[in-house]
Amino acid sequence: MTDLKIRIERKAYQSHGQSFYELNSKEQFIVLGKALMEDLVPKWIDSRNKFKGKKQAYYFSAEFLMGRALSNNIINSGIDSNIKQTLEEMGVNYNELEEAEDDAGLGNGGLGRLAACFLDSGATLNLPLSGYGILYEYGIFKQYFIDGFQVERRDPWLENDSPWLIKNANESVIVEYSESEKVRAVPHDMPIIGYGGDTINTLRLWKAEAVEQFDFKAFDEGRYIESVREQNEAETISRILYPNDSTYEGKQLRLRQQYFFTSASLQDLIRKFKAEGYEDFEAFHKLHAIQLNDTHPALAIPEMVRLLEKEGLEFERAFNIVQKTFAYTNHTLLAEALEVWDKKLFLSVLPNLYEFIERINNRLIDNLKVWGIDKDRWNKYLILQNDQIHMAFMSIYATKMTNGVAALHTDLLRETVIQDWHKVYPERINNKTNGVTQRRWLLHSNPQLSGLITDTLGNDEWVTDLSQLKNLEQHLNEETLARFIDVKKAKKQELADYIQKHEYESVDPASIFDIHIKRLHEYKRQLMLALYIQDLYNRIKENPDGGWTKRTFIFGAKSAPGYYMAKAIIKFINEIANKVNTDGDVNSFIKVIFVTNYGVSYAERLFPAADVSEQISMAGKEASGTGNMKFMINGAVTVGTMDGANVEIVEEAGKENNYIFGLDAAEAIEKKKDYNPAVPLENTEGLKRAVDSLVDGTYHDNNTGMFKDIHDSLMNVDEYLVLEDFESYRQAQDQIAQDFKDEKEFYKKGFINTVNSGKFSSDRTIEEYAAEIWNVTPVK
């Protein structure tokens, strides 16, 4: 304890030239993190050494949504379990230090959070699993609302340094876009601590720098801007996650980013392979398994062929090594999310790489002929067609395995999106249902429920084996249920206090907390919940004595900066919130909150407090979802369609303990064939009035025309069957309101969801990847 105090004070003097007690909370957090790293680094080195000579897995991902690391690292490492007590003795509030840490700006949505959960599970299971990505200077953006509109501002999460990142400049590599354009990729390593501290794996993040950072001659001649131009252009590559690609320049930048980190990562692996004394690259796939997280890292395929040819291998040998090394995870059924690059744009950025894609495509053509595929069906396979490059097709063809992320998603992949590939490779396309780490999403974010579980089971084995929660079933009695309800109420009060502090809105913890938090996309149907709230508002106004159940509807979502319709929906929800929350006839029954800058740290408060989990995407559109699993683990009931992992959630916890509505995936496909939005609009009581509120003067969009565009989209197309599913959704929602009146029975459903959530641990998912795709084994 004394040693930690001494180290903390020493680090304060070293880094800030002041005593720890004179620093602000953000500075104190950084000092504490650096002090803790002194303990972690030797164990980190030991972990690297124990995996040497063994096959290792590498997760290539454009994003890793890590969240704050302080508490997670302390919990997982087990080092100095009395850190809070030590800080208390020093007169320092640990909670203030925890709040001072910025969320790492390395990810945006479920794909990035999944990657973070996977790394946690890999380390906890003592598996050699490392991550490779980009060290974004600003992440995605900080979200603000001005007049109800989303406004994006920079998120300088690295402005005050991060104690968890170690720069390894001596392992930098040069990424070559063309003969005339090269940048330096500088690695920064972040420790990924497994629970118990036995294994610390690595997330290696690349920062872009100029090969020549400063042109002294240009500066000396007075051309000051020109003297740093190369550095500025290079740093732009790792400046921000997902640049707005609605412009040609934005698309170019995104392509540069993808090549930047895949090339740097592969060069890193090849360098280490050779440094360990290996000369025959036929051994490469025996020591490396690379997982492509969606198509963002798919450029690694032709780049690996190119790098192997530089090492002296001929094309066929290089391709075979690539195919044995790589595997690909598909995360979407949406055509627009299956990346396709324009040939001309591609050549403008990566002229040297295109020929390798051509050669891979020519090999595929040879295979199509051997397979006897009719030429009129080649468009279902070809990587190069119509002057476009199809990254998903390349990712399927040039890897050993393609997996979906939920049972339904994988079935739909096989039956629709890539059914032709499934006929050719019936054993290659498999399922790996997603999961989440219970260390962050239960142990860390909900210590009250964690304590209940541990006390009830008599042990904490569930922390590393979530299937143990099933044993709670035999303890489902009055006492346990009463304690569960107390926990839920405590978390709701905590969230209410947090919302009051950050959103300046008061919410009633006794109301139903109905929460819709995820990326803003039309298929996720935030709009349907908004229309339901408008309809409910209308009904309450007409009948204020109708015995209404108190409800708080909470949204959290960011829209991509260039996604017009998503931003329009945000504006609409905020207008509804303003009307509902200021109407004295209604706001005693319902409130609407759109939390600002939704991210991991906010999510850690929202999931434990939820009564109702909104998973209402059009069936067949959500690949899996992981928010649904976090809600389930924390004892919320799901209101949702039979989509993504909702199907498996219902299989585990029972339909009777959740609220399923709407068309299923097959019915939705059939309905779309001859769908007329006017039919449900005219035949569903109250729906037209709710939809008309977009254009009848009820709400104002500041003369942008946004609300009319939403209205017209519903009336003319209704791409995601919002109107068709509305009546079924309303019935489910009204049933929730009715059931909540019997508090004990309602929360029993939530408890049963927690009991049956064991399948949805990312530990289970990673064990399946390790055994069935990567062929890597744990090392203790």
Q: Provide the 3-class DSSP secondary structure of residue 411.
A: helix
C-alpha span between 640 and 649 (Å, rounded): 10
Of the candidates 27, 780, 103, which has an alpha carbon nearest to the alpha carbon of residue 440? 103
C-alpha span between 552 and 555 (Å, rounded): 10
**Residues 324 and 401: beta-carbon distance below 8 Å:** no
DSSP 436: B
Tokens coding 754? 């927690």
Of the candidates 355, 353, 378, which has an alpha carbon nearest to the alpha carbon of residue 366? 378
Catalytic one of 626, 638, 684, 754: 626
> Residues 326, 560, 353, CA angle at the centre, nearest 5°?
35
Q: How far is CA 146 from the centre of its chain?
A: 26
Residue 700, φ and ψ in degrees, nearest 5: -125, 135
Residue 524 is among the residues annotated as catalytic for this protein: yes
Residue 274 is among the residues annotated as catalytic for this protein: no
C-alpha span between 667 and 642 (Å, rounded): 11
Q: Provide the 3-class DSSP secondary structure of residue 158.
A: coil
C-alpha span between 223 and 779 (Å, rounded): 56
Residues 6+ apart with CB under 8 A from 423: none
Length of the chain counted residue by residue? 780
Q: Is 340 exposed, middle or buried (0-12, 13-18, 19+ CB in 10 A)?
A: middle
Residue type, position 430, single letter: N
Residue 518 is among the residues annotated as catalytic for this protein: yes
Residue 700 is among the residues annotated as catalytic for this protein: no
SS3 per residue for 11-65: HHHHHHCCCHHHCCHHHHHHHHHHHHHHHHHHHHHHHHHHCCCCCEEEEECCCCC
Helix pair 722-739, 743-755: axis angle to 10 deg? 110
Rg (CA), the chain: 27
Of the candidates 300, 65, 297, which has an alpha carbon nearest to the alpha carbon of residue 203? 65
Residues 6+ apart with CB under 8 A from 49: none
Catalytic one of 409, 519, 730, 764: 519
Catalytic one of 630, 730, 749, 759: 630
Catalytic one of 306, 444, 524, 605: 524
Catalytic one of 113, 204, 306, 331: 331
**Residues 590 and 536: beta-carbon distance below 8 Å:** yes
Residues 6+ apart with CB under 8 A from 775: 55, 289
Catalytic one of 207, 251, 306, 518: 518
Catalytic residue positions, numbered: 331, 518-519, 524, 626, 630
